[in-house]
Amino acid sequence: MAAPPAADSRLLVIYASQTGNAMDAAERVGRQAERGGCPAVDVLPMDSFDPSCLLNERFVVFVVSTTGQGDPPDSMKGFWRYLLNKNLGTSWLEGVRYAVFGLGDSGYQKYNFPAKKLDRRLLHLGAEPIIQVGLGDDQHPSGYEGALDHWLLSLWESLNQTTPSLLPRMSDIINPDLNILGDAKVEVIYHSSGEAQQDSYLSDFKNLIDRARSMSPALQFNNNDEEPHYMLQMVSNQRLTKEDTDRDVRHFELENPSSGITYQVGDTLEILPSQNPSAVDSFIERCNLDPDCYITVRAKDRVKISEGSLVNGFIDRIKLKAFVALTMDVASASPRRYFFEVMSYFATAEHEKEKLQYFASPEGRDDLYQYNQKEGRTVLEVLEDFPSVLMPFEWLVQLTPPLKKRAFSISSSPLAKHNQLHLTVSVVSWRTPFNRTRHGLCSSWLARLNPNEENLIPCWLHHGSLPPPRPSIPLILIGPGTGCAPFRAFVAERAAWSTSEPTAPILFFFGCRNQDNDFLYKDFWYAHAHDQGVLSSKKGGGFFVAFSRDQPQKVYVQHRIMEQSQSVWNLLNNEAAIYIAGSSTKMPADVTDALEEVICREGGMSKENASKWLRKLERDGRFHIETWS
């Protein structure tokens, strides 16, 4: 935990990011403060700052994103728990001035909840807001930056008026000198061929992944970026949807070639995807780099070589091509706005320089959003669009989005498949406004793998947001589409338990578009819904499916819940737990509304009391939601 000595002249920027947007916004706050002459600026991830030291600060900017249904990012949870400590009084943060900017999506019920709650809690603890909380919205035509530009200007104006010694030069923020570029925050050390030969013994792939990603400054604060827990082999790759439909959902079965796999239902599997080797080669060639040279990469502000960067007395090193392939997302993720600003410094063609400076300016924000994010432009594509730009590798390492792991709900039970782990994955593809086809990196890579070939998949296991239920607890499961994945595991686990002890019933509500095209795991559900299966009505459970497009009137899972309101209410009165999984758009809110309606109808409650009743279920650990976009 970092707790640098505070000073009245220091601006501390703390961010909690899940996908990198909050980190990018926080770094922008820091850059603008430095341009404005702020004597000291520190930009830190929230989980690297000791919250007990917050009372020593004088000026703090918080940038926090939203995940799931209004949840805080993982890196914020420990910090938030500390702030909720009842021993912290209402004057604990007296003398601290703060500002909060949130990143969210107004299409969700709990829009920017982490930022709003943080703002209220800081105020309650005695801190003084510099300006009102800022709310970035993904629904804005320019994304979160549509609100960030104006919010930042208000922040600097307020600080300049009240504390000119902290921020003396507003003009440098409003009109930055685009002919002056500071130093990159990343240092790259190139090794001679003799040094490289001494490193040739480090060939294990798991170790290579660990070394590359721990060396990357962009990933150094990411949790769980240690050596992969498992290197799994795909033994089955089965398409679940009809071949001639536009939706491609796959069932993957993974095994550990050397031993078993330790996990429990409700867990998630994180996978580090492999980038297309030709795309990596094209990036290296476009940037005029030597793929075979050996390098050491580290942050410049690192005072000394960090623990673990020495191997048998030698500075740790890695081949440049391996570093790019394992840490830099060159052909999938879109670069951030600052990438275009830095590119402008290295453009030798005047028309390219002007275009890049325009993209980096507030006036060009909307056009950049259309060109870049809406089109899903990759770093490689952007560099190819501006051929006169040759960026130094230090800047590329700093600014290229890091190659991120992708998380999937596990759809198998270790009781049923002790040496296997199953995934249910929708292969992502979409069309951009200019009718370009884009593909999800990880899902498309997995779909291309042939079972039983020598393809080892780097994997990390983590507890998900759906805790495994005891066999004695009745369950109400709602999982349309690939939201059924964790519940396939729940049903398989309960079926295994039922062979040796009595188990509680399960009501499962599944939804898809068409019975013939995308009825995922149809035979599995019906097998457990017949006779004495764990989904059978004879056991007090049931399986109910909604085919949204098989009739003129659309039917969704919430409609099936209403049809079975008495059964739902009966299980709720028998201490049932509710689990919802699936798309994070309208489904969770619509299902929650249907459950409240059931409580109103069957329990004779008002809408307000039904909502309170559900919130109490959540507090009691009997209402869980896991969603993804």
Cβ neighbours of residue 16 under 8 Å, at least 6 residues apart?
A: 22, 45, 46, 47, 62, 63, 64, 65, 72, 73, 75, 76, 79, 114
Question: Is 452 annotated among the ligand-binding residues?
Answer: no
**3-class DSSP assignment, residue 460:** strand
Which residue in this structure is represented by tokens 């400054």?
217
Question: Is 17 annotated among the ligand-binding residues?
Answer: yes
Q: Read off φ and ψ for residue 91, nearest 5 degrees.
A: -115, 10
Question: Is 408 annotated among the ligand-binding residues?
Answer: yes
- Per DSSP bridges, beta strands 506-512 and 542-547 are parallel
Question: Is 281 annotated among the ligand-binding residues?
Answer: no
- Give strand pairing partners of 430: 438
Nearest residue to 148 (alpha-carbon basis) of 134, 165, 138, 160: 134
CA atoms within 13 A on the CB side of 416: 19
Beta strands per DSSP E along 174-289: 186-191, 230-239, 249-255, 267-271
Question: Is 443 annotated among the ligand-binding residues?
Answer: yes
- Measured from the Cβ of residue 290, the count of other Cβ atoms closer than 10 Å reads 13
Question: Is 611 annotated among the ligand-binding residues?
Answer: no
By the 10 Å C-beta count (0-12 exposed, 13-18 middle, 19+ buried), 171 is classed as exposed
Distance CA 508, CA 567 (A): 11
Question: Is 407 annotated among the ligand-binding residues?
Answer: yes
**3-class DSSP assignment, residue 609:** helix
Distance CA 182, CA 347 (A): 16
Cβ neighbours of residue 302 under 8 Å, at least 6 residues apart?
A: none
Question: Is 280 annotated among the ligand-binding residues?
Answer: no
Question: Is 558 annotated among the ligand-binding residues?
Answer: yes
Please report the sign of the dihedral spanned by the C-alpha atoms of residue 117, residue 122, residue 124, residue 128.
negative
Question: Is 450 annotated among the ligand-binding residues?
Answer: no
Q: Read off φ and ψ for residue 52, nearest 5 degrees.
A: -65, -15
Question: Is 18 annotated among the ligand-binding residues?
Answer: yes
Question: Is 68 annotated among the ligand-binding residues?
Answer: yes
Question: Is 20 annotated among the ligand-binding residues?
Answer: yes
- Helix H or strand E segment including 31: helix 21-35
Question: Is 554 annotated among the ligand-binding residues?
Answer: yes
Which residue in this structure is represented by tokens 């995807």?
273
Which residue in this structure is represented by tokens 């995308």?
518
Where b means 16+ CB within 10 Å and e means fewer, 327-349 reads bbbbbbbbbbbebbbbbbbbbee
First to last CA, the chain: 32
Question: Is 329 annotated among the ligand-binding residues?
Answer: no
Nearest residue to 17 (alpha-carbon basis) of 382, 586, 401, 367: 401
Question: Is 287 annotated among the ligand-binding residues?
Answer: no
Distance CA 208, CA 217 (A): 16
Question: Is 327 annotated among the ligand-binding residues?
Answer: no
Question: Is 512 annotated among the ligand-binding residues?
Answer: no
- Measured from the Cβ of residue 606, the count of other Cβ atoms closer than 10 Å reads 10
Question: Is 628 annotated among the ligand-binding residues?
Answer: yes
Where b means 16+ CB within 10 Å and e means fewer, 8-42 reads eebbbbbbbbbebbbbbbbbbbbbbbbbbbbeebb
Question: Is 313 annotated among the ligand-binding residues?
Answer: no
Question: Is 367 annotated among the ligand-binding residues?
Answer: no
Question: Is 522 annotated among the ligand-binding residues?
Answer: no
Query: Interhelix angle for 350-360 vs 337-346, to 10°?
Result: 150
Report DSSP state, residue 67.
Answer: B
Distance CA 361, CA 340 (A): 10
Question: Is 332 annotated among the ligand-binding residues?
Answer: no
Question: Is 482 annotated among the ligand-binding residues?
Answer: yes
Question: Is 266 annotated among the ligand-binding residues?
Answer: no
Cβ neighbours of residue 609 under 8 Å, at least 6 residues apart?
A: none
> Residue positions in the annotated binding site for FAD?
406-409, 440-443, 628
> Residue positions in the annotated binding site?
17-22, 65-68, 138, 406-409, 440-443, 482, 548-549, 554-558, 590, 628
> Residue positions in the annotated binding site for NADP(+)?
482, 548-549, 554-558, 590
> Residue positions in the annotated binding site for FMN?
17-22, 65-68, 138
